[in-house]
Structure 1
């Protein structure tokens, strides 16, 4: 079996191509496609060179990964240069997109941490025999915390971030109330907060609705942008095919 057909080479090539798709995300379709084609051609030439010299698939995979790591700073510099050279509207969209993703990730991590903290406090209260049994609110808190964690994972990938934003709406809207009820039962300090700050419930409800609207707006923005990018990619592909037939 040639090195180009070996499993180590295919895994390494897929990893490098995923990296290329990541750092070309959001760029104009023709610019991203040219860079991806350039990388695919480079991988093919490297594999052909390895086949001619009898290089093993494992060694070829190591060389490809090493080249990718060594070239990562140059790839990021290439992206930064393309962003600076892009149309101001495109440049604004790229930066806004990054800020929006970071904002939703912060929300998802915060709600995951909140749910985890409340669950740990509840379990500790049972272990220390501060309460008899786990309150029934543990179940919804656990489920909603799991959804917040799932949303965090989905938001980390460009292809699944729309789903992540939509999934995040559920814990954002529903987690604060059962989490507060559970803390009420297991934490004396929480009782004090609730007693001296009766506005907390109203504030939490308003915050939940506001964050849910942000999640929905982010999902709508990404969906619209994804459709526009796909349309531009189809146009660019059609133009390239037309030029190749000339």
Structure 2
């Protein structure tokens, strides 16, 4: 039975079940394309564009052949293909690294930045979780601005981590993460102290050492992310091969 119906104005429409299937198909296709954009975001433009066009073409051909009925097949293939997509990405990154100028560290530097960003997000998430839990059970006695700055720091850490995935935005991501690190370490530590009696007691017995440690950790984290921003802002000079020595006349 056809899902196409005749509209009152003489046009063609879809039955309700068919419209639902087509909306679901659109969401699945958009999800697959978004995943492709994500794992190709920091690859060279030509490589990323070719991969995205390949995935879009594959989706189009399958839709042309099976229509909305292909939704389940596309979703299953996308999930099963995640390891292959990541392996493809790793191979392209290694290929780009082999042709990169010496001293640019195209794999090590992004990996180090991603690990630091993940650690910062984890720290911020832990702090915010403890603050929310403390507020819900009525045990929060700290200043409201400390908790608010911790939440802002976590949001900035998440935004900076997302920006790191785009090669052209990594310098800006470093600046965002530097601000997030300052908020989460400088003020987040005090927010965490207000959620733990044992931490508060330890801080009270070693105030000078804890303050010094807090400031050193804050400064180190901020300098790290600022260095990342400066690294990706500065143009990388490609080393040119030295010209071969010309033989002397008469030799």
Please give the range of the TM-score, normalised by the shorter of the 2 chains: 0.5 to 0.7
- Structure 1's consecutive aligned runs of 4 or more residues displaced over 4 angstroms after TM superposition are 1-5, 118-124, 219-222
Query: Which stretch of structure 1 is more off in the superposition, 167-176 or 76-85?
Result: 167-176
Contact preservation (8 Å) 2:157, 2:176: yes
SS at 2:147 equivalent: helix
Contact preservation (8 Å) 2:63, 2:70: yes
Count how many residue pairs are aligned between Structure 1 and Structure 2.
Answer: 210
What is residue 79 of structure 2 aligned with on the other side?
Answer: 69
Contact preservation (8 Å) 1:111, 1:171: no
Deviations 1:14-70 (A, max 9, x none): 11111111222322211111111111111111111124xxxxx2x322221111122
Structure 2 unaligned regions, length at least 5 = 1-12, 237-251
CA distance in 2: counterparts of 1:22 and 1:121, whole angstroms: 36
Contact preservation (8 Å) 1:144, 1:174: no
Q: CA deviation at 1:213?
A: 2.2
What is residue 143 of structure 2 aligned with on the other side?
Answer: 138
What is residue 187 of structure 1 aligned with on the other side?
Answer: 197
**Larger Rg over CA atoms:** 2
What is residue 147 of structure 1 aligned with on the other side?
Answer: 152
> Cα 1:6–1:166, aligned 2, differ >3 Å: closer, same or farther?
farther
Q: CA RMSD in A?
A: 3.7
Pair 1:6 & 2:12 matched: no
Q: Compute the TM-score of the two structures, normalised by the length of structure 2.
A: 0.66
SS at 2:105 equivalent: helix
Q: Compute the TM-score of the two structures, normalised by the length of structure 1.
A: 0.68
Pair 1:29 & 2:39 matched: no
CA distance in 2: counterparts of 1:11 and 1:122, whole angstroms: 37
> Cα 1:181–1:64, aligned 2, differ >3 Å: closer, same or farther?
closer
Q: CA deviation at 1:182?
A: 3.6
Q: CA deviation at 1:166?
A: 5.2
Flag the structure with higher helix content: 1
Contact preservation (8 Å) 1:155, 1:165: yes
Contact preservation (8 Å) 1:116, 1:145: no
